[in-house]
Chain A
Amino acid sequence: MNESSPILNISIFGVFVLITLFVVIRASRNTKTAADYLAAGRAFTGPQNGIAIAGDYLSAASFLGIAGAIALNGYDGFLYSIGFLVAWLVALLLVAELLRNTGKYTMGDVLSFRMRQRPVRAAAATSTMAVSFFYLLAQMAGAGGLVALLLGITGTGGQALVIAVVGALMIAYVLIGGMKGTTWVQIIKAVLLIAGAAIMTFWVLGKYGFNLSSLLGAAVDAAPKAGEKLLGPGLQYGKTGTSKLDFLSLALALVLGTAGLPHILMRFYTVPTAKEARRSVVWAIWLIGIFYLFTLVLGYGAGALVGPDAINAAPGKANSAAPLLALELGGPILLGLIAAVAFATILAVVAGLTITASASFAHDIYANIIKKGQEEDKDSEVKVARITAIVIGLVSIGGGIIANGQNIAFLVALAFAVAASANLPTILYSLFWKRFNTAGALWSIYGGLIVTITLIILSPAVSGSPTSMFKNADFALFPLSNPGIVSIPVAFLLGYLGTILSKDKADAVKQAEMEVRSLTGAGAEKATVH
């Protein structure tokens, strides 16, 4: 058995950091205006942005988490990736192009377009921050377990130090490179991640004569406890009626959450036109889809070649399946490469989230609410975005150290549930329902946010069970860990009720402007020329 070499792992990661820092510094030379800093001058091509979207979306949770879930729970892990992929059709058909045509930097631009600016922007910024925070926490929490596995650092103090270093690097990327630098980091990371997964996939398949059926058979043989059940659904979610309902709820949040994730939506502003936004989604769908097909092979491959007992015994448990498979296949060097990619993944996704949250604060709250639009596009907007990025970076380092060891998949599912409940209904109503008004927007954003978070606090994921965040308390009044099945319909209903019950009249002229602009692209923000 080969041994993992922490020094080799750190060296390969160090090379990645040096290369990306060089790219980020180069990219920053043309960053002058707010459009440069917050939207990369809208100068990326569709394919470039599509690769960057894949980089943003294929987080540590989807790479390590899904491969691990398939290795241990078989088919039920595969179900996650299907929800994550199909969700992109919502973004492609209903959101991406229309959003690109109407907005400037943030989700708040679109939601507040034909509404009263200040309350709706405040609501959109609140929800953006909430989703980004949960997502950030998930990534930073994952970093701890990864460090233990890859660098052999098992003490909490040592792990905290590594989380702090990762956070500091991320702050540097965001401060220096802005959206352009961050996008390049995403592109480099996505290419490495997909290439690494492709090599491992063909390697695994090669061992079984490129016969998927033999691979599945070997995975079953290696897992005497699960046996044949590994190949069908139900191992993880099929135990009771409640767990089945919980899965249905999760599936809804996954498919409707993606098109409401602010850091994904913001990526559509980095391309010059709606047509390029469409091309980005198409590239993203193909890359993400192919990647998830790889994880199917990698998951069962890890089950077959490493075995569930060895995975469960490793630090980081399920999350260590893919790195252990790399070690089994290619020895310490392949493990070092995959480890560096996994670190890069966390770094890049965290940078993307930070710039999204800081853009929302600078653009929605500072420039448009505090300064009432007077400071929009001024240097001060960029300055505020940079300061916010530092604050968010520090908060996420602290949160990551506290949340170290929490379940990554749960935290990500939480972010999706909030996005699907608070953001998506409001986006769809704004784009497609003429009568939708300010009251409706506030009801659906705040209502969705409050209902989702309340249900999560009252769920068994937080209290009352051995796997809860607080094991010794029990205030789990809501039986499901995933709130989507209740919170998503409630948010849609609240948006409807808020609209018809208020005396507000929708602004017909602004509605005409928004509809015409969203469909034709007239008056849309152009790319900056350098």
Chain B
Amino acid sequence: MSSVDHTPSGSAPDAQKWVDVQASDDFAELKRRLTKFVFPVSGLFLAWYLLYVLLADYAHDFMSTKVVGNINVGLIFGLLQFVSTFVITTLYVRHANKNLDPLAEKLRGEIEGDGK
């Protein structure tokens, strides 16, 4: 086994099979389900993070406005970054377990099952 060919020995699918699977409806659906979640969500959290950084960088007075006691807007915004990170993590895991894993497993079974 050379480095050019990464497929493990055993039920190694040939080149044509990868191309066929890539062109299949199931695979297109799997890819669609993945990208329609991860791309918009990545854009969203990066924009939200950037907004926070810009506020912290250029809107000192706004961020220093006190809300309750010594807790100010900046601290709340900062803690909300933690909350949004935890929420997105949980949502992604739910999405992956429900919508991605079963389809990926089905395709994997089809690819590796052949030729045995």
- Tell me if B96 and A278 are in contact (CB < 8 A): yes
CB-CB < 8 A to B112: which residues of A?
Answer: 522-523
**Set A79, A282, A293: member contacting B82, Cβ < 8 A:** A293
Cross-chain contact B69 with A285 (CB below 8 angstroms): no
> A420 → chain B, closest Cβ, in Å?
13
Which residue of the partner chain B has the closest CB to A428? Answer: B42
Is there a chain B Cβ closer than 8 Å to A159's Cβ? no
Interface residues of B in 54-75 (CB under 8 A from A): 54, 56-58, 60, 63-64, 68-72, 74-75
- Is A47's CB within 8 Å of the partner chain B? no
A234–B2 CB distance below 8 A: no
Which chain A residues border B101 with CB–CB below 8 Å? 275
Asked if A196 is at the interface of the complex by the 8 Å CB criterion, the answer is no
A509–B56 touching, CB < 8 Å:
no
Within 8 A of B (CB), among A223-237: 228-229, 231-234, 237
A238 touches B60 (CB 8 A): yes
Q: Of the 9-residue stretches A11-19, A247-255, A407-415, which lies at the interface with chain B?
A: A247-255
Q: In the complex, which of the residues B31, B57, B75 contacts A244, with contact meaning CB atoms closer than 8 Å?
A: B57
> Which residues of the other chain, A, contact B54 by a CB distance below 8 angstroms?
248
Q: Which of A23-31, A53-61, A84-92, A149-157 contacts B (4 or more CB under 8 A)?
A: A84-92
Shortest B65–chain A CB gap in Å is 9
Neighbouring B residues of A368 by C-beta, 8 Å: 3
Residues of B within 8 A of A231 (CB): 64, 70, 72, 74-75
Interface string of B27-57 (1 = CB under 8 A from A): 1001100100110011001100110111011
A516 at the interface (CB under 8 A from B): yes
Q: Given A232-B63, A244-B57 in contact, is the A92-B2 Cβ separation under 8 Å?
A: no
Q: Is the CB of B30 within 8 A of A520?
A: yes
Q: Which of B38, B69, B107 touches A94 (beta carbons < 8 Å)?
A: B38
With a CB–CB cut-off of 8 A, which chain B residues contact A513?
A: 6-7, 15, 18
Other-chain residue from B12, B60, B85 in contact with A89 (beta carbon distance below 8 A): B85
**A446 located at the interface, meaning its Cβ lies under 8 Å from any Cβ of chain B in the complex:** no
Say whether, besides A79-B56, A512-B19, A282 and B71 are in contact (CB < 8 Å): no
A372 and B2 in contact, given A85-B85, A244-B58, A512-B18 (Cβ under 8 angstroms):
yes
Q: B53 CB to closest chain A CB, in angstroms?
A: 4
List chain A residues, Cβ under 8 A from B42: 89-90, 93-94
Task: Report the contact-size class of chain A (Cβ under 8 Å from the partner).
Answer: 35 or more
Segment of A211-219, A470-478, A498-506 engaged in the interface with chain B: A211-219
Q: Is the interface of B mostly helix, strand, loop or mixed?
A: helix
A82-B52, A285-B86 given; A92·B34 CB < 8 A = no
Q: How far is the CB of B6 from chain A (nearest CB, A)?
A: 7
Determine which residue in A83, A102, A513, A522 has the highest number of CB atoms from chain B within 10 A of its CB, and name it: A522
Given the interface pairs A86-B49, A247-B57, the reply to whether A515 lies near B22 with Cβ below 8 Å is yes
For B2, B3, B88, which residue has the most chain A Cβ atoms within 10 angstroms? B3
Residues A85 and B82 in contact, CB atoms below 8 Å apart: yes
Q: A522 touches which one: B53, B58, B63, B111 (CB < 8 A)?
A: B111
Complex-state Cα separation, A517 to B12, whole angstroms = 12
Q: Report Cα–Cα, A251/B107, bound state, in Å.
A: 40
Question: Of B12, B13, B92, which is within 8 A of A93 by CB?
Answer: B92
Task: Count chain A CB atoms within 10 A of each CB in B6, B27, B54, B63 and give the residue with the most.
Answer: B6
Q: Kindly list chain A residues whose C-beta atoms are within 8 Å of the C-beta of B3.
A: 117, 367-368, 372-373, 376
B88 touches A525 (CB 8 A): no
Q: Are A516 and B27 in contact (CB under 8 A)?
A: yes
Closest 8 A/B residue pairs (Cβ): A213-B69, A373-B3, A232-B64, A216-B70, A513-B18, A522-B111, A233-B56, A512-B22
Name 11 interchain pairs, CB-CB below 8 A, sorted by A: A82-B52, A90-B42, A232-B72, A248-B53, A251-B50, A286-B86, A372-B2, A522-B13, A522-B107, A523-B8, A523-B12
15 new A-B contacts, CB < 8 A, other than A82-B82, A289-B85, A522-B13, are A75-B63, A89-B41, A93-B42, A231-B64, A234-B60, A238-B60, A368-B3, A373-B2, A376-B2, A376-B3, A519-B31, A520-B30, A522-B108, A522-B111, A525-B8
List B residues at the A interface (Cβ < 8 Å).
1-4, 6-8, 12-13, 15, 18-19, 21-22, 27, 30-31, 34, 37-38, 41-42, 45-46, 49-50, 52-54, 56-58, 60, 63-64, 68-72, 74-75, 78, 81-82, 85-86, 88-89, 92-93, 96, 101, 104, 107-108, 111-112
Residues of A at the B interface (CB closer than 8 Å) are: 75, 78-79, 82-83, 85-86, 88-90, 92-94, 102, 104, 109, 113, 117, 211-214, 216-217, 220, 228-229, 231-234, 237-238, 244, 247-248, 251, 255, 275, 278, 281-282, 285-286, 289, 292-293, 367-368, 372-374, 376, 508-509, 512-513, 515-517, 519-523, 525-526
